[in-house]
Amino acid sequence: MASTEEDKMDIDGEQEQEQEQQPLGRVEQARLDAYYQYDFPVDLMERWLGYGNSSIFKRREFVFQRTAADGDTMMARYKSFDNAAGLRNGLLNFRPDRVEIGPVYTHQPKLKDKAIGVFEATQRELIFDIDASDYDDIRVCCKDKKMCDQCWEFMISGVRILNRLLTETFGYKHLLWVFSGRRGIHCWVSDEKARMLTNDQRAAIARYIQVHVGGKTLEEAKLTIERDLQQGWLHPTLEHIYKQVETAFSNIVLNLDNVNNLSNRKVSDDIMSCIQTRLTPSQSGNSLSKISGILDKCVDGQYTPQHAWSLITKIQGPEKRPITWVFKVIEFMYAYPRLDTMVSTKRNHLLKSPYSVHPGTGLICVPFVVSELDDFKPFRDAPHVARLQTKELPRLSLFEDYVSKLEGTMDLDETVTERDILG
């Protein structure tokens, strides 16, 4: 049997270890066993991942991870099951503290060593990962693996904008949003034309959406659209969602109830540095001193963040030349989703399963819907497995509703071409 590059393990960006708060290691194994025996929604998993075809489910890869008492991690790849009962038995036998989902292969993964012909991935949901640690250059409340309700606002902004891009620009209808259990959000796009995307097509979509290209500080970070903005042009797709970017920026940076607001000295200094590195002396004139003075008054409490930003965005360069483009750069830096694009570009990428237990926190990876984002609080609404009452799995109706709507489209004849996918 021949193997391909698809065989190489590619796992979602969270290479997590235990967090001090609520590590799974403190949970009795008996409670985890009870969760897999009575609560983990294997029937819904079969309905979702099989797409009305038992062969598809049988060829789906599952990956189980188990952490030993000494901290060593065992990972079992290429596990597959005939049905929901088989999946439950597999969970009970291996007793994983983390469950990953992979692609659908040409053959059953558990039989890959006996398969005739090439063993390769044939389909997989289009997936996205937004991680709070990718906002470390702009959030002041938390760093690294930590996340709080204040920096959760960055995630809310990212979800709303990404959801709009995927539904309005690409026309996808079946998006499952899941809290990753610590500091991230996963999106599973289950439309048939999304599942059939090649690696190149997935990469093209990720590049089309991605704007932020990294940097350890706000000063160093770059946007792919900076030259366009400087020339007074914005791609029609981004122009279409710009008002949403403005609103999200206001909800975070101009909101006194959020510690990441403009009156925070570090936020103010970071934004000032970001402006200084982008405006040449011929572009700035005395505008930099004006902006600095306004920011100082905001930090001192003389101006509210809202008032300070309204004054700043009216400032012009020499000879009244507009410099509004640099202010738009900052708004996109703070409000536009920052994607781990490597998660989205390959069919064989593994991603933590909905309703998996997060091994570092003990929290269950629960789904949510975009319309409830203002009310959804991950550390309140995602239960810890040790405190979960048996047969009372929360938010299950959201998952069931998602699967039911997806099943309602399975009899449609979708002919998918590269032109349909990439436009």
Say whether 144 is catalytic. Answer: no
d(CA 91, CA 31) in angstroms, rounded, equals 13
d(CA 214, CA 234) in angstroms, rounded, equals 20
Tokens of residue 310, six digits: 């309204």
Say whether 97 is catalytic. Answer: no
Closest CA to 90 of 380, 353, 399, 342: 353
State the catalytic residue, choosing from 16, 129, 134, 270: 129
State the catalytic residue, choosing from 131, 137, 191, 331: 131
Do residues 325 and 228 make contact, with C-beta atoms less than 8 angstroms apart? no
| CA dihedral sign of residues 38, 80, 121, 416 | negative
Do residues 62 and 100 make contact, with C-beta atoms less than 8 angstroms apart? yes
DSSP assignment of 296-360 equals HHHHTTSS-HHHHHHHHTT-B-GGG-B-HHHHHHHHHHHHS--B-HHHHS-TTEEEEPTTPBPTT
Do residues 39 and 391 make contact, with C-beta atoms less than 8 angstroms apart? yes
Say whether 414 is catalytic. Answer: no
Q: Using the 8-state DSSP alphabet, how is residue 195 labeled?
A: H
State the catalytic residue, choosing from 6, 16, 46, 61: 61
Catalytic residues: 61, 129, 131
